[in-house]
Amino acid sequence: MKRFLSKYFRLILVSIVFFCFGAIITIPFHIDIPTILGGLLTLVTAFFGAYFAFKLNDSKDSRREVLNNVDSANKAIFQVIRAYNFYSGYQKQFIEPFRGSPAVHYQIPPAMGFLDWRLELDYDSLSFLFGKNAGTLLLKLNDLEVLTRTTIESIQTRNHIHVNLVQPKMDAAGIADGLEISLGELDIIIGERIAQTLEKLTIELIRCIDDGVDNSDSLAVEMHEKIKEIYPDEKVIKMDKINND
């Protein structure tokens, strides 16, 4: 209602009031009634014309706002789906074949192809969620963004150690794939400090990847359901897993 009572509408209302007041005080002067009614009709027509123009424009603005919000939400959901694909792809290709092995920190090879991707989120465009009692989604998106940054940094650091420190020592010792060697012997060849650093990095990386899979999966579902609840008539993208193996 406050939007309706804008300066323009107040001007029209004041004009109608003053016109009616003027018409009343001019009755004793025998002013023509049809003339008065004609003038009043003009003002009333102008008032309702402006009112309906305002309502139409307001409706267009509301629709535009809905479309912008849904578009922003869909872009964010798409980024979360990409995050899930990043985490699940790394997990399946690099972690699962060696999970549980005591030498997993040596066995997981460097992963170069996973470093070109970043989680890109526009928090300003998603600020409407605060007004929809969905502000916790922004916090979860931020948590996922931080986790992704940490994960990529862990992959980069581990790649460096594996490629530049571990592999040269293995090559110098003549260690090839399939060669029988104990973990203790390998640790001695690599060096205790490097071996412990690589092991800690690998354990942390596995934790990040596993958390990333779970968090991105649940967040994609939660965001779809929440945005669909807010805008039930709009198209909201949804993550469909083709293969869960």
Supply the DSSP string of 156-170, one letter for each residue.
HHHHHHIIIIIHHHH
Mean of the pLDDT values across residues 158-165? 95
Residue 34 has pLDDT above 90, yes or no: no
Which pLDDT score, from 0 to 100, does residue 180 have?
A: 75
Residue 99 lies in a domain: yes
Residue 209 lies in a domain: yes
Residue 174 lies in a domain: yes
Which pLDDT score, from 0 to 100, does residue 113 have?
A: 73
Closest CA to 166 of 135, 139, 196: 196
Give 116's pLDDT tier (boundaries 50, 70, 90): confident
The whole-angstrom separation of Cα 226 and Cα 128 is 13
What are the tokens at 214?
Answer: 């779970």
- Residue-number span of the structural domain to which 187 is assigned: 65-230
Residue 163 lies in a domain: yes
Give 175's pLDDT tier (boundaries 50, 70, 90): confident
Give 5's pLDDT tier (boundaries 50, 70, 90): very low
Q: Domain tally for the chain?
A: 1
Residue 118 lies in a domain: yes
Tokens 């074949």 locate to: 97
63, 160, 171, 195, 202 from 190: Cα distances, Å: 63, 14, 11, 6, 15
The identity of residue 152, as a single letter, is I
Burial class of 126 by CB neighbour count within 10 A (0 to 12, 13 to 18, 19+): buried
Global pTM reads 0.74
Residue 141 lies in a domain: yes
DSSP state for residue 114 in the 8-state scheme: T
- Give the CATH number, domain containing residue 142: 1.20.1460
Tally of residues, the chain = 245
Residue 241 lies in a domain: no
Residue 186 lies in a domain: yes
